[in-house]
Amino acid sequence: MFFVNLPVGLVAWLGGRRVLVETREATSQVSPDYAGVVLLVGALAALVLAISEGSAWGWGSGRVVAGFVLAPVVGALFLYRSARHPEPVLDLSLFTARSFSVANAAALIYAMGFFAMLLGNVLFLTSVWHYSILEAGLAITPGPLVVAAVSGPAGRLAGRVGYRAVLVAGSAVFAGGLVWYATRIGLHPAYVDRWLPATLLTGCGIGLTFPVLSAAAVSSLPGHRFAVGSAVNQTARQIGGSLGIALLVAILGTPTTASAALTGFRHLWLFAGTMAALSGVVSILLGAPRPAYGGGPASPLVAVTEPAAAGAG
């Protein structure tokens, strides 16, 4: 990963120096809320630990129960501090914008299913179909390629018809691909007629949803709030991803036979599909976009901030 990110970052830095104009705002004299960071990390860590270790430690064990109790308590303290600190980790005033709140809720739910599927697919290919790491990587490659191809048109389509229609359709396509995995994939490798169609479906669904969710999250914010709004959206994704991976561990467990493993993965795909469908339902609550800048309701520049960052397996 280091050898991939470093040259990409270097090219972006050199290019940015040529075309970007640096601007600076007056910096605040108040220190960021470092204690808030600790509270947020503590709440998330307690919840993830309780979910991921529940099967091994026992759902009624003291450590698991303590994690489930500690997470909301510490989370409430974090929100209390964020509401009162002059430089909070999470600016709660952003959530007064309906589209911002709805889009971030949908992104968090969607990320739970997406990241669980992403890791789960690799684990399935290597542990059940016994693909090598290289073979598994090649097997999931069509998904990200479809995401990259669909993301740009999805942003432009959202600019014409609005976020809601694109997000609902994309969530439905993504959920359909996951149902295909759950109902069509078996113990014996069948890549072309079983795995590949599901990969293409999920890739199309991801391309229609992830970048558009980013655009919807910041659409009602003024231009100078785009950066912090985008950061909150990324945080919502990462929190959703952490919870999704923890639930993956709980769902898969430690199967002792290939049949038991297949059953676990089918449950995982159905869980991911349920999260995708729920994200689509939440997206229905998005109102008509009211941009705070001069462009249309979903500027492609905003909508395609990370066209292929979200892969598909």
The 10s digit of each residue's pLDDT in 252-280 is: 998 989 999 999 999 999 999 999 999 99
Look at residue 250 in the predicted model and tell me its pLDDT: 93
pLDDT per position as a tens digit, 157-171: 998 898 999 999 999
pLDDT for position 302: 42
- pLDDT given for residue 218 in this prediction: 84
Domain boundaries along the sequence of the chain = 30-90, 94-313
Cα–Cα distance, 148 to 159 (Å, whole number): 18
Structure tokens at 108: 């968090």
Query: How far apart are alpha carbons 285 and 212 in whole angstroms?
Result: 15
Query: Which pLDDT does position 188 carry in this prediction?
Result: 94
pLDDT at 21 over 70: yes
Q: Which two tokens stand for residue 124?
A: 């399935």
Average pLDDT value for residue range 140-146: 95
Kindly report which listed range (168-177, 235-244, 302-311) carries the lowest average pLDDT score. Answer: 302-311
* pLDDT confidence of residue 194: 95
At 200-258, the pLDDT tens digits run 999 999 999 988 998 888 887 887 778 888 888 888 999 999 999 999 999 999 898 99
Question: 68 CB contacts (<8 Å, ≥6 apart)?
Answer: 46, 47, 50
Query: Measured between alpha carbons, how far is 266 from 2 in angstroms, rounded to an integer?
Result: 33
Average pLDDT, the chain: 87
pLDDT for 136: 95
Kindly state the tokens that stand for 234.
């990324």
Q: What is the CATH number of domain 94-313?
A: 1.20.1250.20
How far apart (Å, rounded) are the C-alpha atoms in residues 64 and 53?
7
Percent of the chain whose predicted confidence (pLDDT) is above 90: 60
CA–CA dist 244, 178 (Å, integer)? 15
